[in-house]
Structure 1
Amino acid sequence: MSPDLPEPVDLQSPELYLNRELSQLEFNFRVLAQAQDPSVPLLERLRYLCISCTNLDEFFEIRAATVRTALQFGGPTPPDGIAPARALELIHEKAGRLVDAQYRYWNETLRPELNRAGIRILARDSWNARQKRWLHKYFRDELLPVLSPLGLDPVHPFPRILNKSLNVVVVLEGKDAFGREGGMAIVRAPRSLPRIIHLPPEVSGGPYDFVLLSAVLTAFVDDLFRGMKVKGAWQFRVTRNSELFVDEEEVENLASALKDELASRGFRPAVRLEIADNCPRHIVDTLLENFGLSENAVYRINGPVNLNRVIQVYDLVTDRPELKFPPFTQGVARLDPEAPFETLRKGDVLLHHPYQSFQSVLDLLQAAANDPDVLAIKQTLYRTGKDSKIIEHLITAARNGKDVTVVVELRARFDEEANIRLADRLQEAGVQVTYGVVGHKTHAKMMLIVRREGGRLRRYAHLGTGNYHAGTARMYTDIGLMTANADIAADVHDIFQQLSGLSPAIKLRRLLQSPFTLHKSLLAKIAREAEHARAGRGGHIIAKMNALNEASVIRALYEASRAGARIELIVRGACCLRPGVPGVSDNITVRSVVGRFLEHSRVYWFGNAGKPEIFCSSADWMERNLLRRVETCFPILDPKLAARVFDEELANYLADNLQAWRLLPDGSYERVRPEGDEMPHSAQAALLARFCR
């Protein structure tokens, strides 16, 4: 073999791939590290802890549930080659370490620090007589009227327990009014009441004293069973599979089928049991038997089983600004809200959220809704949030006689019910609503405006990496492009025609699209960088995304690395590529940035031998995004804007040495710190300083 050629390697070998689920759990350790960082304001640390708990809930509802389903019914072998049974063992082992770390930090560090700051989450053993009297009255007045304890006996078998609901299992001794012997009962906490009770200052002595509803319920549960002796009461919570399954080709009405599926989501197969750590063994065994779970799915909790609910404290503490991140005023893009179309005819406008306001998008849509020269508006909606101005402007446009078409993705996970209601509301206002394509979620973020100008029609487009959601646009980092470029706008038009009609695959001019051209184009561009490297032209790829798991893309990156191309990846969450493997991925680095804002933008840059290309996209480099969803990937054609995206989203993040983590070959992450004379640099802080006040 020529000495210039690398030794042959089987790039499909399972050893070259990290497990997706374990990598996702690693991300939650990085979120927890934010909570443990003393430089982060105290209430923000509380928020990060709760986010790590909520993330873990969703992980079990979706990812662990998927592995459990594969164990039961089979499925394709993942690239890492780990069988479902072994994967579940590893998941429970790593998740167990995460849960232990969460509660150890809560009990030993965060809760005491909150106490010292005058924000007290009072445990039962710390209530004084006055507090106990007030809480007992609260129990009798607020809880007791809505509680319905369920005694377990041959007539009352084990009840159906709702997904993630707070419950208390009670062991009783004695006889009830009908002479029935005591045994076990289940009490479900009312879903209509807040999980955090804010004690009045005159009762507690301080402005910010709180008690968890679970503590009140267990403290006074004996009031429910008068005449019997409560031997013990232990809170528990079960997490269930929350993936919805609808055979779209077998249903005539997707919205109706989803409504039926949503009704049963809360009672699907269990995947995890959380229970108080002092619960007796026989109670745990009974619960496991009823939920069909094995021992490794039990998480014994030293604290409240619904710790994520403590996040309510963040909003309830209203006058302690020093305990939260400083507020900021978002920058405004150079879009004249009075003449947005004139602005876009002069040149493209780039938006970088949350540093620049989402208001520019709203201004553009509002202007279109009220402009007599606008004939049509087309829009995709994946997640919008409550009381969305986007929806109001679309309804206004329809009422003003414009042709408004909206592609609503009903299957946006955990927003299905909200999107069904949204679709109904839009249709009632005269908007033409379509649900996209059978078998493919519509995840693309795009808006098209058709306007009559000087006797001809002109199109304006907005494309983004994030949802049309004003709330997340203040918390997520995303890129948006507003343009009057004829080719891009024509491509957006053609994609809308595909989504709302039955047209064949269309050759696009500028955009790349899943599931047709994006995957193939990525592989081709990666291969081109490999060829540049082989020819001595310095192949170079920089890409930023939320997750990376698509096996053929990973293999292409390995090939490019072996050819000598330099590959720098910024992957926030799960990454199945294993960097730093000798002879395979020596030239690949992977980092993750976790900070104040959720990193959500997807940006791909290819050096192309001195003629660089840069794209922004709604798609991660994941199998589902590249092969099973409708996604868009759009080039930044204006050289000044392309330089901005490169500087702000790539070079800036590669220089981060305060909030960045480096992925190691074994799948673990290490914190990046300033070295030598290196100045400390936070990518997000730099952008806040650049754009915001």
Structure 2
Amino acid sequence: MSNFLYNNRELSWLDFNYRVLEQARNLGVPLLEKLKFVAIHASNLDEFFMVRVAGLKDQVDAGYDVADISMKTPKQQLKEIATKVLSQVNFRNDIFKNYLKPQCKSKGILINPKGYLDKIEEIFYLDILPVLTPVALNNINKLPFIQNLSLVFFVEIEKDSQLLYSMLIIPNVLPKSFKIKYKKQSIYYTTNYIVEQFLNKVYTNYNIKRYFLFRLTRNADLPIHQELSEDLLEAIEHYLDLRKKSNVVRLEIDREIDKFFIDKMIGYFDIEPSDIYITNGPIDYSFIFSMKETKKSLYFETFKPVVPSCLQNIKKFSFFDVLKSNDIFLFRPYHDFKLVIKFLEEAVYDKNVLSIKITLYRTNDDSKIIELLEEAVKNGKHVSVVIELKARFDEGKNVEGAKRLENAGCIVTYGFLDLKIHAKCMLVVRKESDQLVRYTHISTGNYNEQTALIYTDIDYITKDDLTGQEIVNLFNYMMGYSDIYDWQRISISPKTLRSSIIDLIDNEIQNVKKGSKGHIIAKLNSLYDKQISDKLYEASLAGVKIDLLVRGLCSIVPKVKNLSENITVKSIVGRFLEHARILYFYDNGKERLFVSTADWMVRNFDKRIEILYEINNPHAKKFLKTILKVSFNDKTAWELANYTYKKASKDNKSLGSQYFFLKNISRMI
């Protein structure tokens, strides 16, 4: 099979981030939400450099020159990434400057306007200047350490006909921007803009010759070595210390500068010229996240998550009573995630509950989940928590959470050094009529109250005995015991998940060869795995219809003659981040449906503990089919064809599947 028939992972991801940026021009998106999509695009790109670009640069430095499945070497990928990134940055700045700022101005919202210096002078002297520390660059003072993503002014100053150089780091303790109300207008000034206007007040008695603003991006893709410590928690803390001072992978500069200064930057930070990006516009858009206005029309319409009919009288009937006759199925954020918290809360205070087991991958600040687990121990419950310390960019938070839970008396384990625990499940064991009954919660999303408001995910709660038994086995595996089990309702990676997916695809192939219909629908975040891609191509050639809803990167090239003519790839980017993984296999009319924490990626199959769970409840299966049907017919979706994503429909009036679910969720289950 020809290797050029696979999309490159990094370039495919950049295409996804472009689709995010396009939301800033979507006529159906309110103004401040458009601004947020600009900030999200920028934030996504920061993380991309910290992890993906950093990893490629490490490969180049190590002399690794092997092409990936798209036939691109690390060097080739870095070159193409740089070209695509610069194009997107220019496009982003143009959208912000020439499209969004004028729209904001028409609504009385001004961003860094000229002519109001008297309004920000007091802010500079009272709130900013006291914490600024200019550092002279000379033989006496060494180069100051600059933290990841900090904004810094490089300033050339003159005194007594002598040229001197200085760096002025804008401390992270300062807010990103300041808001002023003036004549019914909201005026936002970024902190770096204010500092720029008053640089001469920082460098008094000096003549400022030239200056520019820059920002460093540091490598966050550092390995965690087992030999660093016998304790994984200690290893993670050491890793976090190393990451703070890791090598620079990108240097952004806000304007064109002389080669003289370029050479200085290269020397200071030990980088290549190709690592420097001249943005000719804002470097840091994160100030947008803190912009707040009172006009409701500037934001998405507020909504109240729905409570399923079986739980609407939950004050009269407990979750345990409901679960005797009904499985509980939730589709967040359209359904209320607080119901999951209430389920845990009831377990914490129920005198018949003996134990609670849970996995934690990403939690939020002031987590109600962690608070309840602490309370459960106080109430005499046996509480076991498997917490993933290696969740990228949440390592520090999870270390603190682990310590807190241990101090409360929970049994806390960290899983494995070489595997991330990405499975999301909770097990409640309750004594009922002298029997132990297992109640299981399985989810595609995290136990995170904040992301539950903006990520689409599936929650499934059941007292099915076989499910409970298999989740017990899963916890035993995650906590370091035997992994030899006869899984029936679930598949897990890295043990059985890949083979299960391949068997399910093979079954569709065989059914088509026998004259039956074959149909696969997969809703995923990402798809990038050669073995699975090849199997999907094989299924397409056999005549299996394959509909893929892949939000982000995708290795599949659809609609190629004699290869992928039966494959359609679509992507939904909207108000909510599509996060639920749902799989459908026609199976000769039996119609099997699954939910999963795993994308179809090498890392998910081979380097993580993931879960695939088959849904047998007829009502839940019907609901999952509806989600897939509505999502795949979304007229706002993007469709991949000829290596390029384009809008699947020219219908500009459609509000899309997410709007449909917001308006119709109460009637769907």
1:66-105 alignment, distance < 5 Å: 66-74=55-63, 77-105=67-95
Aligned to 1:230: 208
Aligned to 1:3: none
Aligned to 2:122: 137
The TM-score with structure 1 as length reference comes to: 0.93
More moved, 568-577 vs 236-245: 236-245
Mapped contact 2:228–2:235 kept (Cα < 8 A): no
1:610-649 alignment, distance < 5 Å: 610-648=589-627
More moved, 679-688 vs 352-361: 679-688
Aligned to 1:672: 648
Mapped contact 1:330–1:692 kept (Cα < 8 A): no
CA-CA distance at 1:205 after TM superposition:
2.8
Mapped contact 2:367–2:448 kept (Cα < 8 A): yes
1:450 is paired with a residue of what secondary structure?
strand
Mapped contact 1:353–1:478 kept (Cα < 8 A): yes
1:24 is paired with a residue of what secondary structure?
helix
1:78-477 alignment, distance < 5 Å: 78-123=68-113, 126-127=114-115, 131-175=116-160, 181-199=162-180, 201=181, 204-248=182-226, 251-313=229-291, 316-317=292-293, 319-333=294-308, 334-335=310-311, 336=314, 338-477=317-456
Mapped contact 1:330–1:691 kept (Cα < 8 A): no
CA-CA distance at 1:613 after TM superposition:
0.7
Distance (Å, rounded) in 2 between the aligned partners of 1:409 and 1:521? 25
Distance (Å, rounded) in 1 between the aligned partners of 2:664 and 2:606? 37
Mapped contact 2:386–2:479 kept (Cα < 8 A): yes
Given the superposition, is the C-alpha separation of residues 181 and 256 from structure 1 closer, same or farther in structure 2, using an over 3 Å criterion? farther
Is 1:46 the equivalent of 2:35? yes
Deviations 1:655-692 (A, max 9, x none): 1112x0001132x20011157xx994611111001126
Given the superposition, is the C-alpha separation of residues 631 and 373 from structure 1 closer, same or farther in structure 2, using an over 3 Å criterion? same
Distance (Å, rounded) in 2 between the aligned partners of 1:547 and 1:450? 35
Distance (Å, rounded) in 2 between the aligned partners of 1:191 and 1:614? 47
Is 1:687 the equivalent of 2:665? no
CA-CA distance at 1:250 after TM superposition:
5.3
Mapped contact 1:249–1:438 kept (Cα < 8 A): no
CA-CA distance at 1:249 after TM superposition:
5.8
Distance (Å, rounded) in 1 between the aligned partners of 2:324 and 2:225? 45
Distance (Å, rounded) in 2 between the aligned partners of 1:265 and 1:206? 45
Aligned to 1:551: 530
Is 1:662 the equivalent of 2:634? no
Distance (Å, rounded) in 1 between the aligned partners of 2:280 and 2:106? 21
Deviations 1:610-656 (A, max 9, x none): 111110000000111111101111111111210111112x1111111
Mapped contact 1:239–1:270 kept (Cα < 8 A): yes
- Residue type at the aligned position of 1:325: F
Structure 1 alignment gaps of length 5 or more = 1-9
1:252 is paired with a residue of what secondary structure?
coil
Distance (Å, rounded) in 2 between the aligned partners of 1:428 and 1:596? 39
- Residue type at the aligned position of 2:20: V
- Residue type at the aligned position of 1:670: K
Mapped contact 1:445–1:464 kept (Cα < 8 A): yes
Mapped contact 2:492–2:610 kept (Cα < 8 A): yes
CA-CA distance at 1:296 after TM superposition:
2.8
Distance (Å, rounded) in 2 between the aligned partners of 1:462 and 1:366? 13
Aligned to 1:603: 582
Distance (Å, rounded) in 1 between the aligned partners of 2:257 and 2:21? 27
CA-CA distance at 1:497 after TM superposition:
0.8
Distance (Å, rounded) in 2 between the aligned partners of 1:533 and 1:27? 33
CA-CA distance at 1:542 after TM superposition:
0.4
Mapped contact 1:514–1:631 kept (Cα < 8 A): yes
Q: Across the two proteins, how many residue pairs are aligned to each other?
A: 662
Percent identity, please.
Answer: 36
Distance (Å, rounded) in 2 between the aligned partners of 1:492 and 1:235? 53
Aligned to 1:7: none
Mapped contact 2:355–2:383 kept (Cα < 8 A): yes
Distance (Å, rounded) in 2 between the aligned partners of 1:84 and 1:595? 32
Aligned to 1:6: none
More moved, 291-300 vs 600-609: 291-300
- Residue type at the aligned position of 2:10: E
Is 1:17 the equivalent of 2:2? no
CA-CA distance at 1:74 after TM superposition:
4.7
More moved, 596-605 vs 327-336: 327-336
The TM-score with structure 2 as length reference comes to: 0.96
Aligned to 1:28: 17
- Residue type at the aligned position of 1:248: Q
Mapped contact 2:508–2:586 kept (Cα < 8 A): yes
Deviations 1:530-557 (A, max 9, x none): 1112222111100000000011000100
Mapped contact 2:359–2:424 kept (Cα < 8 A): yes
Given the superposition, is the C-alpha separation of residues 322 and 146 from structure 1 closer, same or farther in structure 2, using an over 3 Å criterion? same
Structure 2 alignment gaps of length 5 or more = none
Mapped contact 1:275–1:299 kept (Cα < 8 A): yes
CA-CA distance at 1:504 after TM superposition:
3.1
Distance (Å, rounded) in 2 between the aligned partners of 1:390 and 1:248? 30
CA-CA distance at 1:71 after TM superposition:
1.1
Distance (Å, rounded) in 1 between the aligned partners of 2:101 and 2:586? 49
Distance (Å, rounded) in 2 between the aligned partners of 1:527 and 1:46? 45
Deviations 1:59-110 (A, max 9, x none): 1111111111111125564211200111000000001111000001111110
1:518-529 alignment, distance < 5 Å: 518-529=497-508
Distance (Å, rounded) in 2 between the aligned partners of 1:290 and 1:664? 45
Deviations 1:106-161 (A, max 9, x none): 111101110111011124xx12xxx3234223222222221111111122233332
Distance (Å, rounded) in 2 between the aligned partners of 1:248 and 1:552? 30
Mapped contact 2:110–2:185 kept (Cα < 8 A): no
Distance (Å, rounded) in 2 between the aligned partners of 1:223 and 1:360? 55
CA-CA distance at 1:278 after TM superposition:
3.3
- Residue type at the aligned position of 2:175: P
CA-CA distance at 1:427 after TM superposition:
0.8
Match for residue 564 of structure 2 among 585, 596, 606:
585
Distance (Å, rounded) in 1 between the aligned partners of 2:299 and 2:148? 32
Deviations 1:260-299 (A, max 9, x none): 2212313212111111223333212211232233333222
Mapped contact 1:329–1:692 kept (Cα < 8 A): no
Mapped contact 1:378–1:404 kept (Cα < 8 A): yes
Mapped contact 2:112–2:193 kept (Cα < 8 A): no
- Residue type at the aligned position of 1:91: I
- Residue type at the aligned position of 1:495: L
Mapped contact 1:661–1:671 kept (Cα < 8 A): yes
CA-CA distance at 1:301 after TM superposition:
2.0
CA-CA distance at 1:322 after TM superposition:
0.7
